Amino acid sequence: MACIWLASIGTALSAYFILAANAWMQHPVGSVVNTTAGRAELRDFGAVLTNSTAIGAFTHTITAAFVTAGVFVAAISAWHLTRGQHSEVFRPSIRLALVTVFIASVGVAVTGDLQARLMTQQQPMKMAAAEALYDTVAPASFSLFTIGSLNGSKEVWRTALIVTHHPEQVHGLPQVRLTRSNRPHFDPATDESQLTTSHYPGGS
């Protein structure tokens, strides 16, 4: 039993460090750019580990893992129960699996919403592209399927669900597309190696 717990904890820690590294590439914090060496250098490891993007990604990944594991256990238990095999073992296991799937599914939805809110604040271009938004709207709808023009300048056809609980404004692609004339000033010698949301329309 101790080995199982150690393996589980080690796997979770490994997952967090991997997601923290990926989150740094999405929302870089705790580092500066060394112009002499031509590289980003870590200054605050704690900031990387407490990156809001990393926390959001980890909670979403872990809850999704519980959903997957729960469905797997439920399927195996149901297989044996339909054949009348070892009901004293698989009846409790299927109950536990279904409860796990339900709770974890709620967690997936909540943490997924959190990730979307973070993306709206930290990566407005990415959110606009993900939702295929060409015009700035508030509240933004949930895009089910969108067809755009070949040059990506306008929407041709769209079907979506209106999500009224999310009052935040989401900027359309033309509004957040950076051009040579409006790119934010960035001094790699003194600034932290991140483009904060203040550089974008509506950023805080």
Structural domain that includes position 82: 1-122
147 part of a folded domain: no
* CA gap 195, 121 in Å, rounded: 12
Please report the pLDDT score of residue 199 as a whole number. Answer: 43
Q: What is the mean pLDDT of each run of 10 residues along the chain (204 residues)?
A: 92 95 92 87 92 95 96 96 90 96 96 88 80 70 72 69 53 56 47 42 41
Q: How many domains does the chain have?
A: 1
Residue 136 lies in a domain: no
**Residues 136 and 168 sit within 8 Å (Cβ to Cβ):** no
Which of 138, 128, 142, 131 shows the shortest CA–CA distance to 177? 128
| Model confidence pTM above 0.85 | no
Determine, yes or no, domain membership for 134: no
Tokens 């550089």, residue located: 199
DSSP for 101-166 reads: HHHHHHHHHHHHHHHHHHHHHH-HHHHHHHTT--S-BSSPEEEEEEEE-TTSSSEEEEEEEE-TT-
* pLDDT score of 116: 84
What is the DSSP-derived secondary structure letter of residue 192?
Answer: B
Residue 171 lies in a domain: no
Please report whether residue 169 resides in a domain.
no
The verdict on whether omega for the bond into residue 124 sits within 30 degrees of 0, i.e. cis, is no
